Structure 1
Amino acid sequence: MANSNRAQFSSRLGFILAAAGSAVGLGNIWGFPTQAASNGGAVFLITYLVMVFVLAYPLLVAELTIGRYGASNPIRSLISVAPKQKALGSAVGIAGLLGASGILSFYAIVAGWFFGFLIGPVLSAIGLESAAAWLEGFSLERNLILMGVFMLLTIMVVKNGVADGIEKWSSRLMPVLFVLFIVMVVYTLTQPGAIDGLKMYLVPDTSHFSPDLMVSAMGQAFFSLSIGVCTMMVYGSYLRKDANLPKTAAQVALVDTGVAFVAGLLILPAMFVAQKNGVQIYNDAGALIDGDTLVFSVLPAMFDTMGFAGIIIGVAFFALMVIAALTSSISMLEVPVSCACEELKKDRKTVVWWIGGAISLFSALIIFNFNTMFGLVITVTTEYMQPILGLIMALIAGWIWNRNQVLEELSQGYPEFGQSKFWKVWPAYVRIVCPILMAMVFLWPMIK
């Protein structure tokens, strides 16, 4: 099935950084710590770590394997593994590209806000208070402009292709992200109050464990590896045939989970540092305040109490958020771009502008109808499309795709794969266990 003219990642490290960059997004740095904070800290962390390898990792292997076998865009790759169900393959591929585009449409708006909070403190420090207030305020014009700037950055990276665009920038941005993280965690842990947050995050209190927590951890594990909307399938299609897929997938999962873990080490202690500095972190009902307020109110308020060091830490934190958002957004834009380039036989540079422009227009539509559309688009794409598509992909990989073809593809970078324990467990696991767990993530909120 290999396509010899297809663009490829130039190195395994480049692929791991790009795939981890796709997975490492606002879901890890924003979503995971706030979920952990709201669900008892350490108990959620342990459940999440288990779920990454019980649910997300086997599905990640499946999605990467389908992508590399098809060596094409998601529509063609899915048809290649299910040639007798072409309509199903096409439908899932098209739904995947719509899902990725839908997620990018709201993601670009949120990433734009982070961009504003990144530049705002700098302008404030040099006396441009009104410009800083505009960037950190909430207005139609500010939302449109910042979303446009972020989408432009995403388009500029994807325009240059796989090796010169996606791989090059992921390989530059991910190490910067790691360094910023380590510096900020070390600094935050030296502040008064940090130890309370650290205890909450690392010392389990089993009274918090519940079926709700387990399903939340499952959902978070699934979303944090960006499974279900074909991003990993597209990246898999650019992977060399000599790569050991289970091992490479494990490395991506470890990097992604490591970032989520470190994000918790930063954000939970930071919340308690903020409380020590007089910032409210609990609402009137005694529950921790939610993610939006946490990132856009609590943390900036904490940075304000730190004087000049707070400006530097604040800029570093929001730089971190923008980098994480960008490494994810380029993978989301690549899904529809790869489909359009190959299905319509069009030049990448043209296609990127058309599709990036169309998604930007949809983002603008959300901004103009923010109260009705923003939450709706998030719900439709992340709570419905992503789990359903992930479930269908598990069923395709487990039930429809010819088992000998799966073995042959996985053996290419790992000749002894057929004798491995992984192969003895994985096919049945993807057929039965993953769909049941996926169905739980999707159905639990409706039946509880």
Structure 2
Amino acid sequence: MSDELNYVDWFRHSSPYINAHRGKTFVILIPGEALESTHFSGIIHDLTLLDSLGIRLVLVQGARPQIDKILSKREHTSAFEDGYRITPQDQLMDIIQASAAVRVQLEAQLSMGLSNTPMAGASLKVCSGNYVIARPLGVVNGIDYGHSGEVRRIDSDAIFRLLEDDNMVLLPHLGFSPTGEVFNLKGEDVAIQAAIQLKADKLIIFTEEEGIFDQHGKLYSELLTHDADVILKKNTLNSITHAALEACVAAVRQHVPRAHIISFNENGGLLQELFTREGAGTMIDEDSYEQLRPAHINDVGGMMALLAPLEEKGVLVRRSRELLENEIDRFIVIERDGAIVACAAIYPFEQENAGELACLAVSPDYRGSNRGERLLKGIEQAAKRLNLSTVFLLTTRTAHWFIERGFSETSLASLPAKKQALYNYQRNSKIFSKQL
């Protein structure tokens, strides 16, 4: 019964993500290594589920290990330069053969409809074609790359028509030129350009690793692009994970809202990343014009300007400049082009393992773009770092917003004793809490 209740609870909490993702376009890179994973059938089932939930999917296939095997069988050596496989004329047909075999395997797996399996009743239409227009890399620093190429453009109009007709689109790592030539491309490059040119909502890359880890071995659930740059410059990642992170950063900087790195060895990792708050991999966000960060003393003026209108309306308790300066280490802010456009604070009550969420405010000019959710997530992460198990808040006007994000109404008696003593009965605030 406990497992059933856990499932029901998970399913209920996934509904906001289901609604948010419906109708969105995701580009997903499936490397050749994923097809050899014991969890590959699970990935296929999860893709089928995403399709049934109304998510438009563009799959990009890789075939690195399959190409290596066929070239080895033919006793061909394969050379790489700057991450690109050099493709001589006499190896091109072998590479095409390996790519075709991967494509057929993917199409076959996506066509299953056996009863008593997660694919039962599925009716997927998978389309593939010459939608990637390529050009040769040519000779770079004296090295002739042969039939290795780069993406010239993606036939986005044709792909959009397929997606609108409820098709799943499969793009190979091969590109075609207007002169009828075939070029071997990096799967990451195809995925980047597909995500950019289709204006996709997400780029998702499967790798062997769960995501990106810090120096202590802890998984980053979220990385800003400037932090990702630091990691890439250290050059400590394996080549495949390094390429995946580079691709994610490149896509996000070209206005793809989110990019994710997920392990193909994690059963259900894709669903966990997309439909749970904690996720299962690493999400990469843009930060060039807007960033979520801890507040510092120079932010106080901007915070006061942000909070003042809400204090005048009685939505927030009034705070003086001196109080904000003394409590600045409790705040996080969202800064955009040097201006503070949102802020929030966490006040810990360590004895009760609880923290108070306070002063959550977003400038009226910047509402409606998930900044409130970003602040809330930032506060929850800060609370976890403080080893707090509960976040609570007092509100007079925004109860429904917090209820929609997992908070439940509770009583004054549930608050820490010090907070109970400070409760303002004249404001008559409602109290909500959330378990982390």
Superposition TM-score tier, normalisation by shorter sequence: under 0.3
Whichever structure has more strand as a proportion of its residues is 2
Using the size of structure 2 for normalisation, the TM-score is 0.23
Whichever structure has more helix as a proportion of its residues is 1
**Bigger Rg, which one:** 2
Higher relative CO (CA 8 A, sep ≥ 6), structure 1 or 2? 1
